[in-house]
Structure 1
Amino acid sequence: MNKVLFELPPMPYYITIGQTRYEPGQQHPNRRNIGVFDLLFVLQGTLFMGEEDKQWQVRQGQSLLLLPDRYHYTSAICTKETVFYWIHFEYNGTYREISDPHTSLPIRHAWANPYYLKLQQHSTPRQFASIVRLLEVMHEQTNANGSATYWKEQQQFMDLLQLLEEDEQDDSTTSSVVKLAERTEAYLRRHYQKDLTNEILAESLHFHSNYIVRCMKEIYQCTPMEYLLQYRLEQAKLLLIKTEWPIAKVGEQVGFHYAPYFSSCFKRYIGMTPLSFRKLYSL
C-alpha cells in the first residue's frame, strides 16, 4: 500500500477546508500541478479519482491524499450523491512515496530533532468518526479570523495528522522490527550514561541480541552500539557548549570512563577535538 513520507521539519502548513457535494452525473474537476496537497475525506457516496497512472474508488469512510505536483483527474462520474470534505495544505520540505514498511527512521541530534511522518495515500481510517468530528469543527470556523483562530486552525490540523498517523501506527501490518528498533532506541537514550552492551540490551528487552542488532540496522542503519556512541557524542556536544566542565568530566558524564578514548571518538565522528569544538562557540 502506497504511503507518503514527510521529512520533518518543516511542518505541514494548513491553508483551508471545504465541503463539496456532487449529484449523480457530476464529477471532480481535472487539475494539474495545483501547488498544494489536497486531502479528501468522503462522508457519503464514492469519488472516482486518478493521479497520473493510479486510480482509486474513494468510498464513504475513506480518505485520499493527492500530491501537489501531479495530474489529478476523474476516472468516472459519480453514480450517487457524494459528499466529502477537502483540506488544502502546504509542505515545503522533502517528501516521497514509499511502499516499504521498513523505511529507516532518522536519528535525533543535538541541534536537530527530525521526524518522519508517514500517511497512507488511500486509506480507511479506523478513527474516521473522530476525524469527522474534528473536520466539522474546522469547517465551522472557516469564516472566523484573528490570531486565536489562526493558531487554533493550525493546532487542529496537527491533531488531524496525529489521528491519521496513529491509525497508520496501529495497523496490524506495522512491523515488529520497527517496534523493537524504537524500543531499543528509547532504552539507549534513557540509559546512555551507563555501561551498556548487547547482552544487557537482550536481557532488558527480552530478545536475542542478534535480533536486536538486525532490527536496529534495518531501521536506523546502525547497530545499537553505534547508535549509543552517536548519541553520547551528541550529548557531549551540548555539554561542551552549555558547561565549563573539563573535557574528562564531559566524557564521563555521557558514558566515557577514559578521557583519551572520548577525545579520540569525538574527533573521529565530529572531525575535531572536544576542545576545538568548544572554542568554536566561545567568546
Structure 2
Amino acid sequence: MQIVDTGVLTPSFMDFSLPSEFAKSALYYCPQFGQFICNRDYRIERNSIDQYLLIYINSGSLCIRTDGMTAEAHEGEIALFDCRKPHCYWCPDKVDFYWFHFNGASSKQYTEYLTERFGLVHEKQPMLSLKDQFRTVVHSAQYGMSTQFASMNEHQISIAVHSILGGLASQTVRTTVISELLAPALAYIHGHFADDISLNDLAEMCGISKSHFIRSFKRYVGCTPHEYLLQYRLRQSKRLLLSSDLTVEQIAEDCGFNSASHFARAFRQETDISPTAFRAISF
C-alpha cells in the first residue's frame, strides 16, 4: 500500500492483518507490520495506541523517547516499547528497519519485564538470529494477507514473536554478568542456604556496593536476592519432602526457615498446598 508518512522512502512497505478471535485470546498477533526506509524527515509522535512495538534496525539509527526514557537504536539492535504510553520516535539521518505492532498473550508482562531490566534498546546479540524472526513476522504476515487464507500463518507469527521476546530475555550479556560478577554470591547461597545470609556479605563477596549488588541481581537474575534465596530454599525443601523421612519441622530447619509455620506459609504461598499435601503427591 502507498505510505503517506513524511520521510518514508521507496521501496518501503506496510500492511495490516485481521487477527482471528482465537489469536486475540491465545496468541501473539500483529495488526500492523512493515519495513521502512526513512530519511531525517521521518517522525512519529503519539499519545497512545493499545499495542506494543518491536523494531529491528537493518542500517542507520532511530531515536526513541517514551516514559521518561530516551534511547537511540543502531544497526543490529532491537527497540521495544509500550505504545499505550505517550511516545515519539524519529530518524536523525537515514534508517532501514523492520517493525511490527503486536498484542495478545503476555505482551504487557514481557514488555514491562524487558524494559525494566534492559531499557528501550537491546544491544546486538550475535548468537541470536532474531533478525530472522523479524523477517518471519513481517513476511509471513505480508504473505498471509495476500491470500484468502489470512489466518494460516497466525501460529507461526506468534511463535516468532515469542522467540524474539524470549531471546531478548535471555541475552548473552546476562550469562556473562552472572558468571563474572554474581557467581560468588550465587555459589555461597547454594552452599549455605540453611544459614542466615546478609546482603552486605553477598555484596562484599562480589566486590560491589550493596545497592549495586541488588540492582545487578535484579537485572541479570530476574529477581531480588531475597526472592532467589527463598526460591532456592523451597526447591531444596521439595526434594527433601519427596526423598526423605524427615519431619516437616526438620526440613524447615535444614532449609533455613525460622520455624515450621514460617516454612508452611511460604510453601503454601508458592504452591497453593501444604508441605504435607505435597509429600503425598505421586509424581
Q: Of the candidates 152, 155, 159, which is equivalent to residue 159 of structure 2?
A: 155
Q: How does 1:223-238 map to 2 (within 5 A)?
A: 229-233=233-237, 235=238
For residue 168 of structure 2, what is the aligned residue in structure 1?
164
* Identity level (%): 12
Going from structure 1 to structure 2, the CA distance change for 1:171 and 1:70 (only over 3 Å counts) comes to: farther
Letter in 2 for 1:84: F
Going from structure 1 to structure 2, the CA distance change for 1:269 and 1:35 (only over 3 Å counts) comes to: same
**Separation (CA, whole Å) in 2 of partners of 1:53 and 1:225:** 33
Q: How does 1:189-228 map to 2 (within 5 A)?
A: 211=205, 218=214, 219=217, 220-222=224-226
Going from structure 1 to structure 2, the CA distance change for 1:54 and 1:250 (only over 3 Å counts) comes to: closer
For residue 265 of structure 1, what is the aligned residue in structure 2?
259
Going from structure 1 to structure 2, the CA distance change for 1:229 and 1:210 (only over 3 Å counts) comes to: farther
Retained in 2: the 8 A contact 1:119–1:168? no
For residue 98 of structure 2, what is the aligned residue in structure 1?
85
- Residues 198-243 of structure 1: CA deviation (Å, up to 9, x unaligned): 9xxxxxxxxx99738x99x94444499866544444x28x95xx99
Going from structure 1 to structure 2, the CA distance change for 1:51 and 1:251 (only over 3 Å counts) comes to: same
Retained in 1: the 8 A contact 2:55–2:79? yes
- Per-residue deviation at 1:250? 5.9
Q: Does residue 1:67 correspond to 2:61, yes or no?
A: no
Q: Does residue 1:14 correspond to 2:28, yes or no?
A: yes
- Per-residue deviation at 1:38? 1.0
Going from structure 1 to structure 2, the CA distance change for 1:89 and 1:224 (only over 3 Å counts) comes to: closer
Letter in 2 for 1:156: A
Letter in 1 for 2:123: T
- Per-residue deviation at 1:83? 2.0
For residue 4 of structure 2, what is the aligned residue in structure 1?
none
Letter in 1 for 2:29: I
For residue 178 of structure 1, what is the aligned residue in structure 2?
182
**Separation (CA, whole Å) in 1 of partners of 2:173 and 2:274:** 39
For residue 121 of structure 1, what is the aligned residue in structure 2?
120
Retained in 2: the 8 A contact 1:62–1:123? yes
Retained in 2: the 8 A contact 1:63–1:123? yes
Query: What TM-score, normalized to structure 2?
Result: 0.55
Q: Of the candidates 38, 59, 73, which is equivalent to residue 58 of structure 1?
A: 73
- Per-residue deviation at 1:84? 1.0
Going from structure 1 to structure 2, the CA distance change for 1:51 and 1:183 (only over 3 Å counts) comes to: same
**Separation (CA, whole Å) in 1 of partners of 2:98 and 2:136:** 12
Retained in 2: the 8 A contact 1:33–1:70? yes
Retained in 1: the 8 A contact 2:253–2:260? no
Going from structure 1 to structure 2, the CA distance change for 1:38 and 1:177 (only over 3 Å counts) comes to: same
**Separation (CA, whole Å) in 2 of partners of 1:132 and 1:140:** 12
**Separation (CA, whole Å) in 2 of partners of 1:161 and 1:152:** 14
- Per-residue deviation at 1:277? 4.1
In the alignment of these two chains, the number of paired residues is 223
Going from structure 1 to structure 2, the CA distance change for 1:230 and 1:54 (only over 3 Å counts) comes to: closer
Going from structure 1 to structure 2, the CA distance change for 1:159 and 1:176 (only over 3 Å counts) comes to: same
- Per-residue deviation at 1:173? 5.7
- SS, match of residue 98 in structure 2: strand
For residue 43 of structure 1, what is the aligned residue in structure 2?
58
Going from structure 1 to structure 2, the CA distance change for 1:279 and 1:153 (only over 3 Å counts) comes to: same
**Separation (CA, whole Å) in 2 of partners of 1:230 and 1:65:** 34
Going from structure 1 to structure 2, the CA distance change for 1:39 and 1:168 (only over 3 Å counts) comes to: farther
Considering fraction of residues, name the structure with more helix: 2
Going from structure 1 to structure 2, the CA distance change for 1:75 and 1:170 (only over 3 Å counts) comes to: same
Higher relative contact order (CA 8 A, sep 6+): 1
Letter in 2 for 1:167: Q
